[in-house]
């Protein structure tokens, strides 16, 4: 389509000029990139492959119609936040909602690194947004590297000085490894003056939640999302769980009205509507069964082709080739078969690695066949 004749572009701003107003690490950093290639099979974003059934969507639309759209929604959605808390076993005031956990990760990192004390310790490799947010915000990162088997090892933690913050995901994206409950408990006990931020985006595919640790530890924050296991990435809803005093500080910085009416109605359905809950329990169980099936099938292929599959407790698997050119070749071949997976090989500690999201049985079989023929 040709451009409208009256459109104009404001003058080009040089980096030097921008740096009068912005920190150089923000100007130099790359924006968050998403591959927008359209393929018949999309296994690159760790989404749940099953959309909501029509009747559940209809219920949401009916619920939305009843609400006044000319009015602001609740400023902080406290009722819904408290409901999330109660379902996790927490009293009121222990949960803050936000428009997706991406935003909440950034909020927590910015808010708790303002005191200029301690270190920002970030798991590596882990969710790329943690380190890119630090670059945008001018926060120096002290990496917590995974061990040679791509597992968490507390002996590899940088020295945790007073006021430090440790940010990690469990299950960890893009690897799928977890930090055992007992290990976090021991860390939080040993370091009461360090804040541990656990991103549990893939919680339901995995392990026991860390929630009971909040009972005795004010120095743990948990971040969760409706996007992955709950199959609701489109509603943009996430939450932070922790001690009321910490939540109160985050609430000051989080702007009012960030959760819109659609998110409020849909999230309430996920939490309260029995039919919706049954649907989500079903898709979580299917997702886990498919992940385990694909892992076994991939291992057999990996043995023949010379790559490695890392065991995962999330809805994705990490494949690791001993050299980058074989990894690139496999990625291109899989893409040529119409399947988009995530090339994570440029990330720190991820040379030779590709990540595939678990899809429907049919999608997974197509992926297995493409990998077999690569
Ligand atoms: N945390 C982790 C570990 C993730 O992998 C993702 C999404 N890729 C998110 C948070 C963000 O999820 P959302 O913003 O959709 O809640």
pLDDT of 153-180, one tens digit each?
A: 999 999 999 999 999 999 999 999 999 9
Name the DSSP letter for residue 226. S
| Nearest atom within ligand 1 for CA of residue 225 | 16
Q: Which is nearest to 173 in space by CA: 215, 134, 229?
A: 229
H/E stretch holding 343 reads strand 342-343
- Tokens describing residue 191: 């370091």
Strand, coil or helix: what is 171? coil
| Nearest atom within ligand 1 for CA of residue 174 | 5
| Nearest atom within ligand 1 for CA of residue 237 | 16
- Residue 78: phi and psi, rounded to 5, are -60, -40
10 Å CB burial of residue 280 (0-12, 13-18, 19+) is: buried
Q: What is the pLDDT of residue 278?
A: 87
Q: Which CATH code of 1.25.40.10, 3.90.1570.10, 3.40.50.150, 3.90.1150.10 fits the domain covering 15-19+22-52+276-372? A: 3.90.1150.10
Q: Which is nearest to 327 in space by CA: 300, 355, 367?
A: 355
Q: What is the pTM of this model?
A: 0.94
Positions in the chain whose pLDDT score sits under 50: none
Question: Which residue has the CA at smallest separation from atom 5 of ligand 1?
Answer: 173
For the chain, the structural domain boundaries read: 15-19+22-52+276-372, 56-273
**3-state helix, strand and coil shares in percent for the chain, rounded to the nearest 5:** 40, 15, 45
Q: Does domain 56-273 have CATH number 3.40.50.2000?
A: no
SS (H, E, C) 241-252: ECCHHHHHHHHH
* Omega before 171 within 30 of 0, i.e. cis: yes
Find the 84 Cα to ligand 1 centroid distance in Å.
18
Mutate to test the pocket of ligand 1, among 107, 127, 130 (most ligand atoms within 8 A of CB): 127
Helices (H) and strands (E) in the chain, counts: 12, 13
**Residue recorded with tokens 């309430």:** 268
Q: What is the pLDDT of residue 3?
A: 64
Whether 282 and 147 have beta carbons less than 8 Å apart is answered as no
16: Cβ contacts below 8 Å, ≥ 6 apart? none
Mutate to test the pocket of ligand 1, among 102, 104, 204 (most ligand atoms within 8 A of CB): 102
CA distance 39 to 114: 43
CA distance 18 to 34: 25
CA distance 290 to 221: 31
Mutate to test the pocket of ligand 1, among 124, 129, 197, 313 (most ligand atoms within 8 A of CB): 129
CA 280 from chain centre, in angstroms, equals 18
Q: Other CB atoms closer than 10 Å to residue 2's CB: what's the count? A: 4
Q: Other CB atoms closer than 10 Å to residue 99's CB: what's the count? A: 16
Find the 166 Cα to ligand 1 centroid distance in Å.
17
Long-range contacts of 305-309 (CB under 8 A, 24+ apart): 305/330, 305/371, 305/374
Mutate to test the pocket of ligand 1, among 176, 201, 202, 206 (most ligand atoms within 8 A of CB): 201
Question: Which residue has the CA at smallest separation from atom 1 of ligand 1?
Answer: 201
Half-sphere exposure of 83 (CA within 13 A, CB side): 14
Q: What is the pLDDT of residue 125?
A: 98
| Nearest atom within ligand 1 for CA of residue 202 | 3
Find the 111 Cα to ligand 1 centroid distance in Å.
19
| Nearest atom within ligand 1 for CA of residue 226 | 16
**Residue recorded with tokens 């923000």:** 26
Mutate to test the pocket of ligand 1, among 225, 234, 258, 316 (most ligand atoms within 8 A of CB): 225
CA distance 47 to 45: 5
pLDDT of 309-328, one tens digit each?
A: 999 999 999 999 999 999 99
Find the 141 Cα to ligand 1 centroid distance in Å.
20
- Residue 90: phi and psi, rounded to 5, are -115, 150
Find the 180 Cα to ligand 1 centroid distance in Å.
20
Find the 233 Cα to ligand 1 centroid distance in Å.
9
- Tokens describing residue 371: 């990998």
Q: What is the pLDDT of residue 1?
A: 56
Whether 355 and 345 have beta carbons less than 8 Å apart is answered as no
Ligand 1 binding pocket (C-beta < 6 A) is: 46, 100-102, 127, 169, 173, 199, 201, 225, 227, 233, 238
| Nearest atom within ligand 1 for CA of residue 102 | 14
- Tokens describing residue 334: 């899989």
Q: What is the pLDDT of residue 36?
A: 86
What ranges make up the beta strands (E) of the chain?
41-42, 95-98, 120-124, 141-145, 165-169, 195-199, 220-225, 238-241, 308-310, 316-320, 339-340, 342-343, 353-357
CA distance 152 to 198: 13
Q: Which is nearest to 310 in space by CA: 202, 156, 151?
A: 151
Edge-to-edge strand ranges of the sheet holding 165-169: 95-98, 238-241, 220-225, 195-199, 165-169, 120-124, 141-145
Find the 373 Cα to ligand 1 centroid distance in Å.
31
CA distance 94 to 100: 17
Find the 46 Cα to ligand 1 centroid distance in Å.
9
């Amino acid at each position: 389509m040709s451009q409208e004749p009256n459109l104009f572009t404001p003058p080009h701003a040089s980096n030097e000029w921008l740096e009068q107003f912005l920190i150089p690490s923000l100007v130099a950093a790359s924006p968050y990139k998403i591959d927008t290639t359209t393929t018949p099979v999309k296994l690159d974003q760790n989404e749940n492959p099953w959309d909501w059934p029509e009747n559940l969507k209809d219920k949401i639309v009916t619920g939305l119609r009843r609400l006044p759209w000319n009015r602001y929604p609740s400023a902080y959605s406290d009722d819904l936040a408290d409901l999330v808390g109660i379902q996790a076993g927490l009293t009121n005031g222990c949960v803050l909602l936000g428009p997706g956990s991406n935003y909440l990760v950034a909020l927590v990192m910015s808010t708790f690194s303002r005191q200029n004390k301690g270190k920002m310790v970030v798991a590596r490799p882990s969710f790329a947004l943690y380190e890119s947010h630090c670059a945008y915000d001018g926060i120096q990162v002290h990496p917590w590297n995974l061990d040679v088997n791509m597992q968490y090892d507390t002996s590899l933690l940088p020295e945790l000085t007073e006021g430090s913050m440790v940010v990690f995901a469990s299950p960890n994206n893009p690897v799928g490894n977890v930090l055992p409950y007992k290990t976090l408990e021991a860390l939080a006990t040993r370091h009461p003056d360090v804040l541990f931020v656990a991103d549990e985006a893939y919680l339901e595919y995995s392990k026991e939640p860390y929630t009971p640790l909040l009972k005795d530890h004010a120095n743990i924050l948990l971040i969760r999302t409706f996007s992955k296991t709950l199959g609701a990435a489109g509603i943009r809803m996430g939450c932070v769980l922790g001690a009321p005093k910490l939540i109160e500080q985050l609430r000051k910085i989080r702007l009012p009205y960030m959760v819109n009416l659609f998110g409020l109605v849909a999230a309430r359905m996920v939490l309260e509507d029995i039919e919706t809950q049954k649907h989500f329990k079903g898709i979580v169980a299917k997702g886990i069964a498919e992940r385990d099936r694909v892992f076994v099938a991939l291992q057999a292929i990996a043995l023949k082709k010379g790559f490695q599959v890392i065991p995962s407790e999330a809805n994705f698997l990490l494949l690791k080739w001993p050299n980058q050119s074989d990894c690139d070749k496999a990625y291109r071949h899989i893409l040529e078969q119409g399947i988009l997976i995530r090339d994570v090989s440029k990330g720190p500690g991820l040379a030779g690695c590709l990540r595939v999201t678990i899809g429907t049985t049919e999608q997974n079989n197509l992926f297995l066949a493409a990998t077999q023929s690569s």
